[in-house]
């Protein structure tokens, strides 16, 4: 496409909800980390946490793909702070406020990248006063 010489209307979306195609055989669970592999397809919620994966946000709905790659789509919530479980074996502390945290399992974050074995989740944004074993994670 070449440049325009006239005014145009450019479509937009807020980006808080994003449709993502699922890998063949994948089942994603509402409220867990929404992770894709290098092909850009969503991984099964039971198979996440690897360093080569990319966290997009949190699943807004559960979905299952019983067909081929991309035959099912689920919505990802992003650009917000989410309350996730704090890994007791690699816990996040108040001193980590504002730093990157990593996926330990489909609903848990850890302080470290596990010597390069964990995917980035987002940034630690504080503790919750009611749920002391949970932390707020900002995912953009």
**Is the pLDDT score of 20 beyond 80?**
yes
**Is the pLDDT score of 1 beyond 80?**
no
Q: Averaged over 36-54, what is the pLDDT?
A: 94
Q: 14: pLDDT confidence band, cut at 50, 70 and 90?
A: confident
Query: Can you give the pLDDT at residue 38?
Result: 94
The Cβ-side half-sphere exposure at 113, using a 13 Å CA radius, reads 13
In terms of DSSP H, where are the helices of the chain? none
pTM score above 0.85: yes
∠ Cα 42 101 74 (to 5°): 20
Q: Averaged over 1-25, what is the pLDDT?
A: 93
Query: Can you give the pLDDT at residue 137?
Result: 98
Q: What is the pLDDT of residues 91-139, one digit of tens each?
A: 999 999 999 999 999 999 999 999 999 999 999 999 999 999 999 999 9
Query: Can you give the pLDDT at residue 10?
Result: 92
Nearest-angstrom CA–CA distance, 140 and 6: 33
Q: What is the pLDDT of residues 47-80, one digit of tens each?
A: 987 899 999 999 999 999 999 999 999 999 999 9
Query: Can you give the pLDDT at residue 106?
Result: 96
In the numeric block, which tokens belong to residue 47? 């198979």
Residue whose pair of structure tokens reads 């900002």 in the numeric block: 138
């Amino acid at each position: 496409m070449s440049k325009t010489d006239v005014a145009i209307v450019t479509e937009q979306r807020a980006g808080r909800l994003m449709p993502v195609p699922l890998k063949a055989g994948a089942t994603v669970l509402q409220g867990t980390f929404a992770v894709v592999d290098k092909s850009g397809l969503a991984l099964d919620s039971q198979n996440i946490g690897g360093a080569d994966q990319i966290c997009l946000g949190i699943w807004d709905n559960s979905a299952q793909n019983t067909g081929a790659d991309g035959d099912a789509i689920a919505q990802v919530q992003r650009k917000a702070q989410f309350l996730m479980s704090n890994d007791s074996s690699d816990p996040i502390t108040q001193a980590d406020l504002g730093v990157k945290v990593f996926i330990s399992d489909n609903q848990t974050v850890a302080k470290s990248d596990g010597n390069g074995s964990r995917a980035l989740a987002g940034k630690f944004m504080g503790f919750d006063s009611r749920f002391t074993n949970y932390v707020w994670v900002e995912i953009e």
